[in-house]
Amino acid sequence: MATPTLDSPVKQIQIEGLVVLKMIKHYQEEGQGSEVVQGVLLGLVVEDRLEITNCFPFPQHTEDDADFDEVQYQMEMMRSLRHVNIDHLHVGWYQSTYYGSFVSRALLDSQFSYQHAIEESVVLIYDPIKTAQGSLSLKAYRLTPKLMEICKEKDFSAEGLKKAMIGFEHMFEEVPIVIKNSHLINVLMWELEEKCTVADKHELLNLSSSNHLEKSLQLLMDRVDDMSQDIVKYNTYSRNLSKQQQQKHQYIQRRQQENAQRQTRGETPLPEEDVSKMFKPPQPPPRMDTLLIAGQINNYCQNVKEFTSQNLGKLFMAEALQGHNS
């Protein structure tokens, strides 16, 4: 995903430790398996920084009346939090992800409505599986201004996208994150360290990688399959379109010939029929989905490359250790 453009209103995200802990806890308790957990971020905007100071989770989508509950839940939560002096400005939302698959239509729509209402909002993607492997994986994304334009127009056709010259790399922009804690929390950290030295499990130096790689590659293959289906659809569409153009031309020519013949014979020419109604142009396939799939594939590839580079490093270290031994 691309680096932030110069004209975006938010250059950096500052998160408090509390938010990080709350997100981790939310996924841990409520989101086992490949379910996605979501929540709202609260905070404020300071110059070109977006400070996130608190958050609250959303209940899972249940079978009974999800929509009405959500809005009401949110309103009540924000009202209550205001009573205890917590920043109640809505600045974005967070979502957990499964092996990095989050580029979807739903995400796009949600982020668009957020960014439309509040210009600086972001979506925080928390990857719990990568975090469990040793280091916190948290990324912040916004839609690029180009993509915002397109969503506003709701023009997802091929011409529209061509005009805007959007590639899958220009859909989302990543915003760098920093973590800041207040002094009181720092004191708390010192105390925790003293009271409870949990043994470091060093998951980060774990050598076993095949499980993670397998799953990532599986997801990548699925997406590539989707993409190839899409390409096939597009190809058939262009073929159909060109065939239809040919038919149209032939029809018009025949008509003209007939009319010329009739004129020579002195009969009234046949009425000009509406050619376009007879040959309905085939539906062009939606390009937006292809773009999303391409973006998702790109994301998977990036993750896989990060993973392999880490593992190569670890393998070389293991080699050095073994070399020393023998």
Site for other proteins in 106-125 (CB under 8 A): none
Min dist CB 120 to other proteins, Å, is 18
Between helices 105-117 and 287-325, what is the axis angle to 10°? 100
| 98-106, 107-115, 156-164, 275-283 -> range binding other proteins (CB under 8 A) | 156-164
Q: Comparing C-alpha atoms, which of 174, 173, 141, 185 is closest to residue 20?
A: 185
Kindly write down the DSSP assignment for every residue of 308-326, as one continuous string. HHHHHHHHHHHHHHHHHH-
Please give the Cα distance from 106 to 121 (Å, whole number).
Answer: 16
250 lies in the binding site for other proteins (CB under 8 A) = no
Question: Under 8 Å CB-to-CB from 231, ≥6 apart: which residues?
Answer: 290
- Does 200 contact other proteins by CB under 8 A? yes
The sign one gets for the Cα dihedral 314, 316, 322, 325 is: negative
Does residue number 232 form part of the binding site for other proteins (CB under 8 A)?
no
Tell which one of 5, 34, 182, 256 touches other proteins (CB under 8 A): 182
* Interface pick for other proteins out of 113, 186, 218, 253 (rule CB under 8 A): 186
Choice from 217, 241, 252, 275 touching other proteins (CB under 8 A)? 217
325 lies in the binding site for other proteins (CB under 8 A): yes
Of residues 2-21, those binding other proteins (CB under 8 A): 14, 16-18, 20-21
Q: What is the DSSP string of 149-180?
A: HHHHHT--SHHHHHHHT--GGGSEEEE-EEEE
By CB under 8 A, the residues from 78 to 107 that bind other proteins are: 80, 83-86
Phi, psi of 13 (to 5 degrees): -115, 135
Stretch that binds other proteins, among 58-66, 105-113, 114-122, 270-278 (CB under 8 A): 58-66
- Does position 222 bind other proteins by CB under 8 A? no
For other proteins, the binding residue among 205, 232, 252, 270 (CB under 8 A) is 205
Q: Is 318 among the residues that bind other proteins (CB under 8 A)?
A: yes
- The interface region with other proteins, picked from 141-149, 242-250, 275-283, 315-323 by CB under 8 A, is 315-323
Q: Which of residues 280-309 bind other proteins (CB under 8 A)?
A: 287, 290, 294, 297-298, 300-301, 304-306, 308-309
Quick one: which of 9, 59, 281, 284 contacts other proteins (CB under 8 A)?
59
- Tell me the C-alpha distance between 59 and 67, whole Å: 11
Q: DSSP labels for 76-109?
A: HHHHHHHHTT----EEEEEEE-BTTB--SHHHHH
Return the amino acid letter for 132: A
135 lines the binding site for other proteins (CB under 8 A): yes
Q: Note whether 260 binds other proteins by CB under 8 A.
A: no
Mention every residue, 6+ apart, whose C-beta is less than 8 A from residue 160. 150, 153
Regarding 180 and contact with other proteins (CB under 8 A), the answer is yes
CB distance 111 to 143 below 8 Å = yes
| CB of 119 or CB of 203, closer to other proteins | 203
Binding mask 16-55 for other proteins (x = CB under 8 A): xxx-xxx-xxxxxxx----------------------xx-
Closest CA to 137 of 46, 212, 207: 212
